[in-house]
């Protein structure tokens, strides 16, 4: 009996120890970084426990909700929306948010994620309903900004801050997609034709400019050649004129020397006139058609006649 009593006491001790360990394990809570615990006491809000070690009163305090304070991303499935021009399309959205107040998050709304999803769908329908198809496809940034602003205001009482909303995908009906693809193909072909025409235009302009520059260069070359030719002819004429002037000057100098010699020899005026007549004769020499003879040449002619008579008498 004593042995059984000892075994029974040992088992009771173990049971009591396990109960104490269980109570301690449920009473001591360690909250990690970026987490928070919403604690209730006897069903009423007791407080929000942040990072660190916290003690709960057994059987009185309980953790109502564990809250993740990090930014979270929710990718909601596509939602059917109707545009202003009655085109039904599927749009799926991505919402980036984080919890700012664990108490409001725990008690503000029953199912926060479902509430955000429904709110996102209704807000998206309201915004897209005011836009046409083309505006919807080209105004993603505007739609994102409007949704983010609306969701942030609506979720503020729930202790949720919406940072950003993105339209992940816009899926129009198959017929619209086909029409859009044909339109895009036609637009690409049009741009290709425009680019080809512009290329041909530029090529034609470049060829014409090349021909123009070539013609200008040829004209300039011909002009320079004509200028050089004229300068050469001018230099040739100048040299010929200089040669003729030099020859005339030489003849005149010789004539002047002859006249000076005659004067120094004592020749009278008759001899000088005779020499002048010889000069006229030499000037004529069959190369001139007309000779202008001065008026006093008659005296020279009479003098010549007198010499002729004297010569005849001598011969007799």
Rounded Cα distance between 30 and 52, Å, is 6
Q: Do 16 and 42 fall within a single domain?
A: yes
Rounded Cα distance between 162 and 123, Å, is 14
Under 8 Å CB-to-CB from 81, ≥6 apart: which residues?
Answer: 88, 89, 90, 91, 124, 125, 128, 129
Band of residue 311 on the pLDDT scale cut at 50, 70, 90? very low
Residues constituting the chain = 316
Assigned domain for 22 exists: yes
Assigned domain for 182 exists: no
The domain boundary residue, chosen from 68, 90, 123: 68
Q: Where are the beta strands (DSSP E) in the chain?
A: 28-31, 35-41, 44-49, 52-55, 61-68, 72-75, 79-82, 88-99, 160-171
For residues 312 and 103, the model is more confident at: 103
Q: Do 261 and 274 fall within a single domain?
A: no
* 3-class DSSP assignment, residue 29: strand
Assigned domain for 124 exists: yes
Rounded Cα distance between 310 and 76, Å, is 153
* Confidence check: pLDDT of 248 > 90: no
Assigned domain for 279 exists: yes
Q: Do 158 and 105 fall within a single domain?
A: yes
Mean pLDDT taken over the chain: 80
Q: Do 103 and 156 fall within a single domain?
A: yes
Q: Do 285 and 211 fall within a single domain?
A: no
Q: Do 309 and 224 fall within a single domain?
A: no
Query: Of the given ranges (85-94, 98-107, 176-185), which has the lowest mean pLDDT?
Result: 176-185
Assigned domain for 76 exists: yes
Q: Do 240 and 285 fall within a single domain?
A: no
Buried/exposed 245-271: b ≥16 CB within 10 Å, e otherwise = eeeeeeeeeeeeeeeeeeeeeeeeeee
Which domain, by its residues, includes 17?
2-68
Q: Do 76 and 130 fall within a single domain?
A: yes
Q: Do 76 and 160 fall within a single domain?
A: yes
Q: To the nearest 5 percent, what fractions of the chain are helix, strand and coil?
A: 65, 20, 15
CB 272 within 8 A of CB 296: no
Under 8 Å CB-to-CB from 66, ≥6 apart: which residues?
Answer: 35, 36, 37, 38
The domain boundary residue, chosen from 108, 140, 172: 172
Assigned domain for 208 exists: yes
Instruction: Kindly state the tokens that stand for 243.
Output: 């040669």
Band of residue 6 on the pLDDT scale cut at 50, 70, 90? low
Q: Do 81 and 58 fall within a single domain?
A: no
Buried/exposed 31-41: b ≥16 CB within 10 Å, e otherwise = beeebbbbbbe
68: phi then psi, degrees, rounded to nearest 5: -95, 120
The domain boundary residue, chosen from 138, 172, 206: 172
* Structural domain count, the chain: 4
Q: How far is CA 313 from CA 18, 173, 305, 309, in A?
A: 193, 148, 13, 6
For 51-100, the pLDDT digits (tens) are 988 888 888 888 889 999 999 999 988 888 988 888 888 999 999 999 99
Assigned domain for 136 exists: yes
In angstroms, how far is the first alpha carbon of the chain from the final one? Answer: 219
Band of residue 176 on the pLDDT scale cut at 50, 70, 90? confident
Assigned domain for 178 exists: no
* Confidence check: pLDDT of 291 > 90: no
Q: Do 228 and 142 fall within a single domain?
A: no
For 19-37, the pLDDT digits (tens) are 777 777 778 888 899 899 9
CB 76 within 8 A of CB 117: yes
Instruction: Kindly state the tokens that stand for 173.
Output: 């009906």
* Confidence check: pLDDT of 174 > 90: no
Q: Do 51 and 80 fall within a single domain?
A: no
């Amino acid at each position: 009996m004593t042995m059984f009593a000892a075994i029974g006491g040992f088992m009771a001790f173990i049971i009591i120890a396990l109960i104490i360990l269980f109570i301690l394990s449920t009473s001591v809570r360690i909250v990690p970084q970026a987490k928070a615990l919403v604690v209730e006491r006897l069903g009423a809000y007791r407080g929000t426990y942040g990072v660190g070690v916290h003690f709960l009163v057994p059987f009185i305090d309980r953790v109502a909700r564990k809250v993740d304070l990090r930014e979270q991303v929710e990718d909601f499935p596509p939602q059917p929306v109707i545009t202003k021009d009655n085109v039904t399309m599927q749009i799926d959205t991505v919402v980036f948010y984080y919890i700012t107040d664990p108490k409001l998050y725990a008690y503000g709304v029953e199912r926060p994620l479902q509430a955000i999803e429904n709110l996102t769908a209704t807000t998206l329908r309201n915004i897209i309903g005011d836009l046409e198809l083309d505006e919807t496809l080209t105004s993603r940034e505007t739609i994102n900004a409007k949704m983010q602003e609306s969701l942030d205001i609506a979720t503020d009482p729930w202790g949720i801050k919406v940072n950003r909303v993105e339209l992940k995908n816009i899926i129009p009906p198959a017929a619209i997609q086909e029409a859009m693809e044909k339109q895009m193909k036609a637009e690409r072909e049009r741009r290709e034709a425009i680019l080809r025409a512009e290329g041909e235009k530029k090529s034609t302009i470049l060829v014409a400019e090349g021909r123009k520059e070539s013609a200008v260069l040829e004209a300039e070359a011909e002009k320079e050649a004509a200028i050089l030719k004229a300068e050469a002819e001018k230099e040739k004429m100048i040299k010929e004129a200089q040669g003729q002037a030099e020859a005339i000057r030489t003849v005149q100098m010789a004539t002047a020397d002859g006249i000076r010699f005659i004067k120094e020899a004592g020749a009278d005026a008759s001899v000088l006139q005779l020499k002048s007549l010889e000069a006229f004769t030499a000037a004529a020499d069959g190369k001139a058609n007309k000779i202008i003879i001065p008026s006093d040449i008659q005296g020279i002619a009479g003098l010549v006649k007198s010499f002729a008579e004297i010569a005849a008498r001598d011969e007799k």
